[in-house]
Every structure is written in C-alpha cells, then in structure tokens.
C-alpha cells in the first residue's frame, strides 16, 4: 500500500514528491522498528500474556498516530514562522544519534526506567491480571490491572518516540501532507512488523547503529539547509535506503557466521 501510494503520488505531483515520500517513509519505518523493540521489552517486563498483546499494541499504534500528528501540526506552524527552529530540530536528531551510538545494549530491566517508575507511582495496580480487563475490584476498591499500566507506559513512550521521529522527517520534507502520510503508513505497518521483530530483535545487531547514522545525516542536512546548502531529496533517499539496507545485511551476515 505504501509503495502504491508513493507511485501514485509520483504520477500526480512528480518524481520529487514521490522521492520525498519514500525517503520520509523509510526513515519513519526504521524509527518505528526501534519503537517496536521497546514495546517488546515492555511486554516482557510486565509479562503481558500473548493473547492480550495485540490489544495493547492497537492502543499503542493509536497513541503513536495521535501524538505524531499533533507534533506534525505544531512543527509545521513553528517552522513556517521561525526558520531557526531547524537548528533546534537538528540538535535533537544529533543527540538522539549520539544516544544510539552510546548504548551498548538495550537494557531489558525496566525497573529503573523513569516512565515505568512514574506510572507505578501514580497508578495503583494489582499484582495479577484479571483477564483482558483494565480495571478490577480488589479489597473493595477499584484498581488498575497490569494491562492498564502497560498501556500507560507504552503511550508515554509514544510521546518520547514522536519527539525523535518528527524532527527527522522534517529534515527530508516540509510538505505537511507528505510528512503526515509517510508517518501514517509507517505506523500502520507496525502491527505486521511486530511478529517479525519480536522474534528477531536480538539478531539485528547493526540496525540501531544504521539508524543512528541516518539520524546524524538528517541532522547535518538540516544544518546545511539552514545555511543555504541544499542536499537533494534523491541523495537523502539513497543515503537512507543504503544505510538501513547495510544495517540489515550486516546483521544477517553476522547471524550466518
């Protein structure tokens, strides 16, 4: 569906717009994969039964759509008024890339995670699941089940990921329609990717460094654009596609060795 939409956009508005869409889509899809890695860790930490994971994932996807569209509207209005915001967005991307490079391994223990601790502090939670219910009565009082706590942590994580992903796509295009559609198609692909990612996340060792390289490139591209040195969309698309493909291929080669 994403490819068909991009091709149709190319016939309607030209190759440049199609290139912007595909560059934005690939970028957002790679960041969405990183999103799923965290979802898998959250499910494991809260021991969410497999039968309920799709339901929680649906809420996570809905939250991702809401928060990203909200930031897209805010970002579009801000960039139209203040060009210097480009530098702020570039700084966010470069910092995100640095964090990805600096992380040696994804920590599977979320007990000290700020988002998890904050939710546990403000939401009274039972120790056991009660079917697929979000709320249950225990000792005569209404309490949240771990399923509701899981959703709360995922939704707050969605906000954090939106802060990373939206500046990245604005580094590729300023067209609000392309920014929105590339994000929507990337997010809608999360459900189909989840079953694959949940099984193979440990095998994609070089995907995270590849994403960091892409974020660094987009960050520097935004800085160059601000000072009048434009990097074409075709170059951006080629760099994003090559970097992500290299990350996946190197991971697969390492697995075969």
For residue range 191-241, list pLDDT tens digits in order.
777 766 666 665 667 777 887 888 888 788 878 877 877 777 678 778 878
Across the chain, what does the average pLDDT equal? 78
Distance of CA 46 to the CA centre of its chain: 21
Which comes out higher in pLDDT, residue 79 or 106? 79
Residue 164 φ then ψ, to 5°? -80, -45
Q: Is 252 exposed, middle or buried (0-12, 13-18, 19+ CB in 10 A)?
A: middle
The mean per-residue pLDDT over the stretch 137-156 comes to: 81
Greatest mean pLDDT among 10-24, 40-54, 204-218: 10-24
Share of the chain above pLDDT 90, in %: 5
Rounded CA gap, 150 and 146, in Å? Answer: 6
- The answer to whether residue 78 scores a pLDDT higher than 80 is no
pLDDT for position 201: 60
- The answer to whether residue 94 scores a pLDDT higher than 80 is yes
From the list 104, 92, 80, 78, the residue with the least C-alpha distance to 218 is 92
The mean per-residue pLDDT over the stretch 1-14 comes to: 91
pLDDT for position 64: 79
Share of the chain above pLDDT 70, in %: 85
Q: Which residues contact 12 (CB under 8 A, 6 or more apart)?
A: none
Which comes out higher in pLDDT, residue 25 or 99? 25
Q: Which residues contact 61 (CB under 8 A, 6 or more apart)?
A: 187, 188, 190, 191
Q: Which residues contact 137 (CB under 8 A, 6 or more apart)?
A: 143
On whether the pTM is more than 0.85, the answer is no
For the chain, what is the radius of gyration of the CA atoms? 19
The mean per-residue pLDDT over the stretch 177-193 comes to: 83
pLDDT for position 4: 93
pLDDT for position 112: 60
pLDDT for position 203: 66
pLDDT for position 7: 93
- The answer to whether residue 110 scores a pLDDT higher than 60 is no
């Amino acid at each position: 569906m994403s490819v068909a939409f991009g091709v149709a956009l190319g016939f309607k508005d030209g190759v440049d717009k199609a290139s912007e869409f595909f560059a934005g889509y690939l970028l957002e899809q790679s960041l969405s994969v990183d999103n799923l890695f965290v979802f898998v860790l959250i499910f494991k930490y809260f021991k969410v039964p497999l039968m309920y994971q799709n339901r929680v994932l649906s809420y996570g996807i809905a939250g991702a759509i809401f928060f990203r569209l909200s930031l897209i509207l805010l970002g579009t209005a801000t960039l139209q008024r203040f060009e210097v915001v480009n530098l702020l967005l570039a700084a966010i991307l470069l910092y995100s890339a640095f964090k990805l490079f600096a992380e040696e391994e994804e920590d599977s223990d979320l007990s000290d995670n700020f988002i998890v601790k904050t939710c546990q502090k403000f939401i009274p939670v039972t120790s056991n699941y009660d079917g697929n219910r979000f709320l249950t009565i225990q000792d005569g009082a209404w309490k949240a089940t771990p399923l509701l706590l899981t959703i709360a942590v995922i939704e707050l994580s969605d906000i954090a990921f939106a802060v990373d992903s939206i500046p990245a796509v604005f580094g590729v295009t300023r067209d609000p329609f392309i920014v929105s559609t590339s994000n929507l198609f990337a997010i809608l692909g999360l459900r189909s990717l989840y079953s694959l990612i949940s099984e193979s996340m440990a095998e994609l060792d070089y995907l995270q460094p590849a994403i960091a390289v892409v974020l660094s490139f987009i960050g520097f591209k935004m800085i160059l654009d601000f000072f009048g040195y434009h990097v074409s969309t075709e170059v951006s698309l080629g760099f994003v596609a090559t970097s992500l493909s290299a990350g996946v291929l190197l991971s697969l080669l390492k697995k075969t060795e």
